[in-house]
A and B are shown apart, each in its own frame.
Chain A
């Protein structure tokens, strides 16, 4: 394996308070030395990183890679390549596949396909309940033994409070977070977008904020009762933010994620019945967007995760109420976050790296998330000022379902390294 020297970039690792222009040398897949001027060893590949940020590789704790079951929509290989193109050196695959990842064999399959993809690392998340049916607990121990990093019934909420309580208690043995998709199914039933003036005007059934918030506070209270670690997926409302803050103030083990689309877009995107603006939880109001941006800044929200959810073109090219939920996100996440959080001055690039790399590694106990000497060289090089026009046709993911198509965004991944190997580069 050849040595790689990243020369002259802004080395930025909030986990070690590193923020300095300098070189970074990779040898044998590991970070050999960081900072200062480093002389390139003979035969080393030298990458000029002038004007670029050299960051710990991004880690996405929430994506849907569709394999097994819907390989026509995405495979673990195409998903892992899309992740690499988006600067992610590792992604966590949600278990709502067909069949569901609810046993050690299924977990092993995801790991095997991930390794074969040879792009971003793929970590499986196991199901909370067998078949995600919300009835019987899946075998957390065996799944963790096989490589699962968390459990979740994402795509669906854990409806039974008793099951959620048990999951939080049982997960403590294995030290994994229980990630919940917060949605009261009776309130959200049949809903296609946020409930409010826009849904009333468009004649679409709304999903009230309370559908999320009721489940969020239930989970927080159960975490308080059990001492388990609850991770709240894709938070979308001001109310949820307030509830998480309430929980954190009381030192309850609650962590939370937000998606790039929820800190950038509002329910107005649905105007014109654009199915690429349909996802669950739905795009909310401008006030919710403000609250979520503020929560990223003040730490109430721990991580930014994509909820990357590819769908077939034909499934989205139809009546709004019949179209499936979800948008792709791996290849736009950095640009959306920079455009809507960093550029307006809400957070710094360093804080963004914390939300996209350091905190995910810490919360899900994953390797990476730092630029320390001796660690695996999972590194993302990006240009925080590059402007580019989003062209879904150029994406590595099979999905094309994004509301950002045609927009000019700022911030672009230049090069992604996994284990010291360049898995994506546009640096010529």
Chain B
């Protein structure tokens, strides 16, 4: 028998609505574990998980680590600076070495699109994509959906606009696939220089003005604008970006309805989002963080059902 999710979680593009709902439905009751005196369940006792982070990330790595530890897994964090990756070892060798140490799962964050899949095709362990290049960041997409689902009940017919640098955003891609599969209407809004040329072929609407997006949407998922985009010449300045595309209280006040405000973090206050929006009554940014741990616990739980090594251990040790 195999896990209903398969061996790995690499992205949301190729999952079905049923699979996405299974993860969200599982995450829902797992939120409670983080409220307990002893925030730990024995579910993944004996499982070894490696957090292989080739790109710096505080938020996602900590969230995964909490999720793993609350499920009682043993975790090892590997960062390029502390590993032989910086000595020129290839990704595949790094992975095979880790696997030779009998690990059960790898959580990988990597700067190259497709790196998680590359790894998954070459090792037996379960692989969870924690962000690969500008491709996908499935657990972020899932936690965004869990947050929206809690607020809206159902996502069917809800209008979600993803704002900002969609071109370079793995969060945007995971959101687009996941939200559309669950029946939401999805739009993007940002300067055309930061939207993929073929964006309309991905089943989303495009707004050129943030005012139009605010008038249309039930929720805004506001992406982080990387400083490097300005240096690379995609936009003239952060100042102008804020003036044209920044989500401000004044703009939101003109909206016909209250909009939920999401942001994957870390925020550039005063660039893509103003502080009084980020900290305002309709911001669910902190709930996203809480949901992040629950969603990652759910993914760990569901994928562990397909770990051949754990199964073998269970047979031998029963």
Contacts and interface: CB of A to CB of B under 8 A. Distances in A.
Give the bracket for the number of chain B residues in contact with chain A.
20 to 34
Nearest to B92: A317
A204 B115 CA distance: 12
B196 A320 contact: no
Interface in B101-120: 110, 112-115, 117-118
A320 B92 CA distance: 13
B197 A322 contact: no
B118 A201 contact: no
A206 interface: yes
Contacts of A317: 90, 92
Contacts of A196: 197-198
A345 interface: no
Interface string B184-212: 00000000000011110110000000000
B8 interface: no
B201 A197 contact: yes
Contacts of B132: 203
A203 B170 CA distance: 7
Interface string A190-225: 000001110111111110100000000000000000
A199 B198 CA distance: 9
Given A273-B117, A273-B118, A321 B198 contact: no
B166 to A, nearest CB: 9
B13 interface: yes
B114 A320 contact: yes
Nearest to B137: A203
Interface string B13-53: 10000000000000000000000000000000000000000
A319 B133 CA distance: 10
Interface in A336-371: none
A43 interface: no
A318 B198 contact: no
A249 interface: no
Contacts of B70: none
Interface in A262-290: 272-273
Contact of B199 (A200, A204, A318): A200
A322 B197 CA distance: 23
A196 B196 CA distance: 8
Contact of B114 (A200, A273, A314): A273
B197 A319 contact: no
Contacts of B92: 317-318
B113 A200 contact: no
Nearest to B172: A203
A203 B13 CA distance: 12
Interface string A238-277: 0000000000000000000000000000000000110000
Contact of A200 (B90, B115, B118, B202): B202
Give the bracket for the number of chain A residues in contact with chain B.
20 to 34
A32 to B, nearest CB: 56
B61 to A, nearest CB: 20
A201 B202 contact: yes
A319 B170 contact: no
A320 B196 CA distance: 19
B114 A197 contact: no
A196 B114 CA distance: 17
Contacts of B134: 203-205
A321 B117 contact: no
A319 B112 contact: yes
A319 B198 contact: no
Contact of B133 (A197, A314, A321): A321
Contact of A202 (B91, B110, B114, B197): B114
A317 B199 CA distance: 30
Contact of B115 (A199, A201, A319): A319
Nearest to A204: B113
Contacts of A200: 196-199, 201-202
Contact of A318 (B90, B173, B196): B90
Contacts of B113: 202-204, 273, 320-321
Interface of A: 195-197, 199-206, 208, 272-273, 314, 317-322
Interface of B: 13, 90-92, 110, 112-115, 117-118, 132-136, 170, 173, 196-199, 201-202
27 contacts: A196-B197, A196-B198, A199-B196, A199-B198, A200-B196, A200-B197, A201-B202, A202-B135, A203-B114, A203-B132, A203-B134, A203-B135, A203-B170, A204-B134, A273-B114, A273-B117, A273-B118, A314-B90, A318-B91, A318-B92, A318-B118, A319-B115, A319-B118, A320-B113, A320-B114, A321-B113, A322-B112
Given A203-B135, A320-B114, A321-B112, 9 more contacts: A196-B198, A197-B201, A200-B197, A201-B13, A203-B173, A272-B117, A273-B113, A314-B90, A319-B91
